Amino acid sequence: MNGALEARLRERRGAGAKLLVPYVTGGYAGWERAVEAAAAAGADAIEIGIPFSDPVMDGPVIQRASTAALEQGATPASVLEQARGLDSGVPHAVMTYYNLCHRQGHERFAAALADAGVSGAILPDLPFVEAGPWLEVAAAAGVEAVLLAAPTTPEHRLASLCEASRGFVYAIGLLGVTGERSSLASTATELAARCVALTDRPVLTGVGIGSPSHAVEACAVADGVVIGSAVVRTLMSAGPEAVGELVAAYRTALDRG
């Protein structure tokens, strides 16, 4: 799986596609079917959330799903065991918090991801300036460590961050937690433009994208988008098959431009 995430995204970008990466909360009832439905509907990769009790980045929708998953007995090990059995046909990246990585130890955590067939990992609360040891261990295990760029990231650090990121550069659209907004923040396109100017690695915008039209607007600059709260809300309210329908709507909008 080494390099599978970035290779897939580069291939799709090279074919002229705008990239679409839905987020699904691992461990929530029906999440595996939701991943498969999203992939079948045109997702280029899937971000799988490993539920954590004290999230930093997750807004209310994803927090509710994570709490429900934990109450249903989800653990990092159980989510990865289920992920191992998925055959979606696209790369998977996990998103969780550094406490889980630190508690297991970098080597053990990275090995568990690789063993589950996971291509990438996103640890949003691990500062870039402190991420060196994790980046080294992840690379050795064949796990692509995706780094997050914020609107407040200074230019000199942004260049280094884009260079160090693997898989893609995750451009955070606004200063805030995940969630659907009524309009796309101006910072989303501003940050994506800064990142695109510094790297040829795929740049995906996430956080604050509430509709297919927002995704199209973001992709006027970015290579693609990460869709989280809208997907999780749909999973909780209407089930896995509806997730496929939602992702198909985003796919159609992005393809039409």
Q: Residues 47, 144, 217, 223: which is the catalytic one?
A: 47
Residue type, 203: V
Whether 58 sits among the annotated catalytic residues: the reply is: yes
Q: Residues 6, 32, 36, 58: which is the catalytic one?
A: 58
For residues 16 and 254, the answer to whether their CB atoms sit within 8 Å is no
Dihedral sign from CA coordinates of 42, 23, 224, 123: negative
Whether 11 sits among the annotated catalytic residues: the reply is: no
Mind telling me the catalytic residues? 47, 58
